[in-house]
Structure 1
Amino acid sequence: MKSTPSGFQSRFRLVINLVLILLQLTVIGIMILGFSDDAIIAYWLFEVIAVLVVLNIVYRRKSAAYKMSWIIFVLVFPAIGVILYFIWGRQHVSKKVKARWLAINKNTYAKLAQNKQVFAAIEDSGIKKEVDLINRLSGLPIWENTQTRYLKLGEEMHRANLEAIETAEKFIFLEYFIVTGGKMYDELMTALFKKAAAGVEVRIMVDEMGSISTLPKDFYETCAKHKIRSIPFNPLSASLFRFISYRDHRKMTIVDGHVAISGGINIGDEYINEKRRFGHWKDMAVRLEGDAVLSFTVMFLSMWEYSTGEVSNLENYRGTKKYPQTKGLVMPFCDGPNNLKNPAENTYMNIFANAKEYVYITTPYLILDTDLTNCILLAARSGVDVRIITPGIPDKKLVYATTRAFYGDLLAEGVRVYEYSPGFIHGKVLITDDQVAIIGSINMDYRSLTWNYECGTWIYGSQTVFDVKADLLAVIEASREICYYDWEKISFAKKIGQAVLRIVAPLM
């Protein structure tokens, strides 16, 4: 059985960390045995460097949990900790990359100013503030005249993809983290080949690390043969830090500027339950049709330009249809390491801070920083019904154990935690107060909220919100609730292990 790509990424980092730690211990052992003046000087030199690095960590704008993890690691293993911190502890974006993104934004995001009339028409002051916040953080506007349809399974998303592709007349854009050969892949590619042969422009962007062990070997050659333009995002390069850390975790299909489909679903047979690996695979997406699709088009063209240097004229990829007024508003947004405003995490924290009745979330990985944890706990303490749904069957045991390590604090304050008994829940969905739903690619973990390029669709006041709620209540009904009493029964040794996992979580 092939390893999951994200699992490969975690194991790759873990192996490097362990090798360097062993090297550190070996060096310290030699120094102790030698106990020479030179060895003592070298040891204190390591310590001075480690203290300077710790001061740098404290100075950075990061969460307390993230800083604490690195501080402990650097002080315990000074020489190797310093090296690892500079490899992938700093979220450093060079001036050259910043300037490049600024130039790209002028061609894309800067052309999508906030829709002032739509914004002014929002009557709920809380929602208005939320929309303004997301716009300020992500640079993308609020839209009306957009129909949304909730897709509660990968099978539904796959059918929606094929149906949308069948209607394509001008262009099809696809951007995915994982692409794996199989039935889903074959059916998708057959549909794309047909459209490319008919003269439709087809572009595909695949994350290099995400698909490193799954992408068919002849993928790029096959695409070129069928007149499909395909590129790897952030391929292996001399910058190991960038290759390992900055991944394109988005999932989206865009057709003619009229239809966009996005969520947590990659291209692979497990996502449509054609292959059972971890029980029933529960995943979610949303289909958009109307004005808001332009925001997804902007996301795609920005990433394409960043990867290739090719500038696309946004005007050539706007939808041309006029859509009637629809109930509800839609606001696609995105996040990434180049945006230090942290749109995803700050949007979630704002929702918890302003929730009145309930917040329900599904996430495959629950690895929280201090700020987000405090927001969740504050909501629960104020009487908000907070429920979090995680997998019942894990895809990665180490990450699953780390997820469970965060249960104790949440359960103690009244947060209700459920594990999806039928299998693995991979969807990334949030709903609050019968008003707002978010469906996207964003996991509730450090990697999604700090390092990855992600996207989500914020939806307000439409039937889709109630469809999401109905689905999550059905998922809760099929899940096993974890009670604080259950967590208390965990052995002392296991709780110590969980504490260690929480400390090292930001390093995974």
Structure 2
Amino acid sequence: MRSSSNHYQNRFRLIVNVVLIALQLGIIGLVILQFSEDAVVAYWIIEGVAVFVVLNIVYRKKTAAYKISWIIFVLAFPAVGIVIYFIWGRQRVPKKSKKRWDEVNQRTFLRLEQNQAVLESIDDKSIRKQVELVHRLSDLPVWQNTRTTYLKLGEDMHRANLEAIKTAEKFIFLEYFIVTGGKMYDELMAALYERAAAGVEIRMLVDEMGSLSTLPKDFYQSCAAHGIKSIPYNPFSPSLFKFISFRDHRKMTIVDGRVAITGGINIGDEYINQKVRFGHWKDMAIRLEGAAVFSLTTMFINMWDYSTGEISQLDAFKGTAAPETGNELVMPFCDGPMNPRNPAANTYMTIFANAKEYLYLTTPYLILDTDLTNCILLAARSGVDVRIITPGIPDKKLVYATTRAFYGDLLAEGVRIYEYTPGFIHGKVLVTDDQVAIVGSINMDYRSLTWNYECGTWVCSSPTVQEIKADLMDCINASREVHYSDWEQTAFLTKVGQAVLRIMAPLM
């Protein structure tokens, strides 16, 4: 199987090289034959600039996949590629924004300290190292005295949201990527209006681009009329790169610093299967009650203060009562373009590297870079039972085609891939070795792992881990397994198209 996969890879590399050379020679020939001497000089100037741009790409601290994509694009279409790279590809955070972010961090993340007694209670050395790494990457600690409840459907999450909101006495924080009008929205807002009338402080942060075409037109006016503070994250600006790239993809509701619900579920009727778009919508979330909620509260205050310029008193939003839960370990963490340590990607790679028996995960978008791919392949090569569940019915056809473009290498090394036959699986869940699980907003794609603000909840030594495993086994049983022989039968031109999509994936 491996030799067949390598054969296609080598053939594709040859085709890419030939096409690039042909493009360059063709452009040179056209310039010489059809244009003036000045145009020839202009062309070589552009080629010279392209070389410097490529050198800039090579020396930047980015993944190999990202570099390769831009190098090919700039060399193939130098005039257009150079301009688009400077507008789109450098991913530079303005110094002013970074300074403001660092100032907010001093008042939020950097005030959270790791409870050494909790850390020292972890007997398993590999788990302890994992916890220490995530803490160093995200500045967020691991907690005990937190009870977790797995919510395996959007309907369950919506009920948990409403139940928690109805108990609020002090404050409610909500942060969502997509907010869409409908039954789910109406019930949520009715519950919020009721608590606002009772004097509960409510803040709501909605991503501007994620909700650009879905947010009810009177949303902000209605919130203001009911005493709810609501703001758009990263509103539309002339900098299209900043507007499109730096998105708040998190989903969370926090009540009184005591209860939090977070995961992959937005506000919209498709998430609770009241509106059928792509078959059955399978999504997951997790409910936290206890000490670890403070990490999610800190994430929200961090983003709110950064977006508004306010200075919130973090300690005023800390919960009081925390349930006794024995040895259950809970570690919410977050990521975003301001953090160069890449907590999400490095956390996943650490888990992949430490898996011993099995590794099951779900993702709506499987668009991997070289590092993640190699970690998954190493796990499979070492005998770990690796299974990945992707949608059976796509929400975006181009992204779905790109997801399938990554199947070949994985299948060739024994990774088992399942497409969720009933519909669209939007959950972002991982479980391994009956020990560790993650439920979050993080897709297995370049955008989530590089550009978006994301969050996840790492759970260990908890009954929740077994519940997640059971749910993923149910998903597998409801799915169609994709075999390597299926991929081999794909038409050659389709594979060439998939290979092109893989090259362009980091630019999407």
Interval containing the TM-score (normalised by the shorter chain): over 0.9
Mapping 1:307-318, distance limit 5 Å: 307-318=307-318
Counterpart Cα distance in 1 of 2:325 and 2:276:
42
Counterpart Cα distance in 2 of 1:69 and 1:158:
40
Aligned twin of 2:148: 148
Amino acid at match of 2:174: L
Counterpart Cα distance in 1 of 2:84 and 2:379:
36
TM-score norm. by structure 2 comes to 0.94
Deviation at 1:32, TM superposition (A): 5.7
Counterpart Cα distance in 2 of 1:32 and 1:487:
44
Deviation at 1:91, TM superposition (A): 2.1
CA contact (8 A) 2:289 2:322 kept: no
Aligned twin of 2:439: 439
Amino acid at match of 1:230: S
CA contact (8 A) 2:147 2:325 kept: no
Aligned twin of 1:388: 388
Counterpart Cα distance in 1 of 2:52 and 2:151:
50
**Partner deviation per Cα, 1:3-45 (whole Å, 9 max, x = no partner):** xxxxxxxxxxxxxxxxxxxxx9xx9998566421110011011
Unpaired runs of 5+ residues, structure 1, are 1-23
Amino acid at match of 1:419: E
CA contact (8 A) 1:286 1:439 kept: yes
Counterpart Cα distance in 2 of 1:100 and 1:201:
25
Amino acid at match of 1:227: G
Aligned twin of 1:321: 321
Q: Which moved more, 1:379-388 or 1:95-104?
A: 95-104
Mapping 1:462-477, distance limit 5 Å: 462-477=462-477
1:497 paired with 2:484, answer no
Counterpart Cα distance in 1 of 2:487 and 2:48:
41
Mapping 1:275-290, distance limit 5 Å: 275-290=275-290
The 1:404–1:86 alpha-carbon spacing in structure 2 relative to 1, beyond 3 Å, is same
**Partner deviation per Cα, 1:115-166 (whole Å, 9 max, x = no partner):** 1110011000000000000000000000000000000000000000000000
Amino acid at match of 1:368: L
1:461 paired with 2:464, answer no
CA contact (8 A) 2:363 2:443 kept: yes
Mapping 1:217-256, distance limit 5 Å: 217-256=217-256
Deviation at 1:95, TM superposition (A): 2.2
The 1:29–1:394 alpha-carbon spacing in structure 2 relative to 1, beyond 3 Å, is farther
Aligned twin of 2:114: 114
Aligned length in residues: 484
CA contact (8 A) 1:146 1:326 kept: no
Counterpart Cα distance in 2 of 1:244 and 1:189:
27
Deviation at 1:412, TM superposition (A): 0.1
Amino acid at match of 1:170: K
Amino acid at match of 1:87: I
Counterpart Cα distance in 2 of 1:416 and 1:322:
40
Counterpart Cα distance in 2 of 1:179 and 1:419:
27
TM-score norm. by structure 1 comes to 0.94
**Partner deviation per Cα, 1:82-101 (whole Å, 9 max, x = no partner):** 11112221221222222111
Deviation at 1:325, TM superposition (A): 3.8
**Partner deviation per Cα, 1:406-448 (whole Å, 9 max, x = no partner):** 0000000000000000000000000000000000000000000
Mapping 1:150-299, distance limit 5 Å: 150-299=150-299
Mapping 1:25-40, distance limit 5 Å: 31=31, 34-40=34-40
Give secondary structure in 2 for the equivalent of 1:448.
helix
The 1:32–1:200 alpha-carbon spacing in structure 2 relative to 1, beyond 3 Å, is farther
Aligned twin of 2:17: none
Give secondary structure in 2 for the equivalent of 1:243.
helix
CA contact (8 A) 1:147 1:326 kept: no
Counterpart Cα distance in 2 of 1:122 and 1:420:
36
Deviation at 1:486, TM superposition (A): 0.4
Amino acid at match of 1:140: L
Amino acid at match of 1:225: A
Aligned twin of 2:306: 306
Counterpart Cα distance in 1 of 2:184 and 2:31:
57
CA contact (8 A) 1:263 1:440 kept: yes
The 1:327–1:37 alpha-carbon spacing in structure 2 relative to 1, beyond 3 Å, is same
Amino acid at match of 1:415: V
Aligned twin of 1:49: 49
Amino acid at match of 1:482: V
The 1:35–1:489 alpha-carbon spacing in structure 2 relative to 1, beyond 3 Å, is same
Deviation at 1:367, TM superposition (A): 0.2
Counterpart Cα distance in 2 of 1:78 and 1:395:
33
Give secondary structure in 2 for the equivalent of 1:387.
strand
Give secondary structure in 2 for the equivalent of 1:216.
coil
Give secondary structure in 2 for the equivalent of 1:214.
coil
The 1:390–1:32 alpha-carbon spacing in structure 2 relative to 1, beyond 3 Å, is farther
Counterpart Cα distance in 1 of 2:200 and 2:29:
64
Give secondary structure in 2 for the equivalent of 1:93.
coil
> Cα RMSD (Å) of the superposition?
1.4
> Percentage identity across aligned positions?
73
The 1:72–1:166 alpha-carbon spacing in structure 2 relative to 1, beyond 3 Å, is same
Counterpart Cα distance in 2 of 1:83 and 1:435:
48
CA contact (8 A) 1:365 1:400 kept: yes
Aligned twin of 2:487: 487
Q: Which moved more, 1:86-95 or 1:75-84?
A: 86-95
Unpaired runs of 5+ residues, structure 2, are 1-23
Counterpart Cα distance in 2 of 1:244 and 1:168:
34
